[in-house]
Amino acid sequence: MLLLFGVLIGRLFCGWVCPFGLAQDVLHKIPGRKFALPEWASSGKYLVLLFMVLLIPFLAGESTMYSFCRICPAATLQVSLPYLISSGFATISAATVVRWGVLIIVIYFAIRSSRSFCKAICPIGAIMALLNYISFVVVRLPKDACVSCQSCDSSCPMNVRPSERAIKEIPVNRTPDCIVCHDCKRACPVVNKRMVNSA
Ligand code: SF4
Ligand code: SF4
Ligand code: SF4
């Protein structure tokens, strides 16, 4: 299903559907000092996918503590928390503490760095990322009338510099970390002017 969705829509799921992506967007609105993750950090999700989703659970069995599913912060928030509350907090174990520790770290980074979990850790994002190159969804910015204002770059939650592809007439979503959110199009003065003119 993931591969089918990925081929059809690339990472559009990440920009428009995933509740954990929305949670990160909301957390990032909390005021404070912000920073962008370095480029190399986005390789992390491929290592998580390879080792903690595929290799280690395959070799050590699904009950291993080193599987990503054991510490997935989305699962902690959306599954473990309701379960913990419904059990009256009677199910706290060492594994629970580790899971909550991971979630707190992810929340901290989400506040400081936009979509940091999506960019550096999420194995679903890693699967979808490569399919951005072949998906049917296309997001374009105008090359002909570009005024090099960089508004698209500064509005991008994944910090993937859409203006670089706009100048080369490449769809801006043809890069692994684009979540197809269209924020760059909304921020572009040329696109906005054309929409006003055509209205
Ligand atoms: S990268 Fe993962 S957590 Fe982020 S929006 Fe996509 S599926 Fe959700
Ligand atoms: S390049 Fe545009 S569509 Fe892609 S993540 Fe950045 S703002 Fe969103
Ligand atoms: S926001 Fe529009 S005009 Fe400004 S750099 Fe990006 S594509 Fe060019």
Looking at the structure, tell me whether residues 114 and 131 fall in a common domain: yes
pTM of the model: 0.92
Model confidence at 7, in pLDDT bands (50, 70, 90)?
Answer: confident
| Domain coverage including residue 193 | 139-199
d(CA 12, CA 138): 10
- Which ligand is in closest contact with the Cα of 121? 1
94-115 pLDDT, tens digit per residue, is: 888 999 999 999 999 999 999 9
Look at residue 27 in the predicted model and tell me its pLDDT: 97
The answer to whether 47 and 40 have CB atoms below 8 angstroms apart is no
- Which ligand is in closest contact with the Cα of 141? 3
Looking at the structure, tell me whether residues 115 and 62 fall in a common domain: yes
Looking at the structure, tell me whether residues 65 and 163 fall in a common domain: no
d(CA 125, CA 122): 5
Looking at the structure, tell me whether residues 112 and 26 fall in a common domain: yes
Looking at the structure, tell me whether residues 189 and 156 fall in a common domain: yes
d(CA 110, CA 139): 25
Among the candidates 89, 106, 137, a domain finishes at 137
Among the candidates 92, 121, 137, a domain finishes at 137
Protein residue whose Cα sits closest to atom 1 of ligand 3: 188
Whole-number Å distance, alpha carbon 73 to ligand 1 midpoint, is 11
Looking at the structure, tell me whether residues 115 and 146 fall in a common domain: no
Protein residue whose Cα sits closest to atom 6 of ligand 2: 156
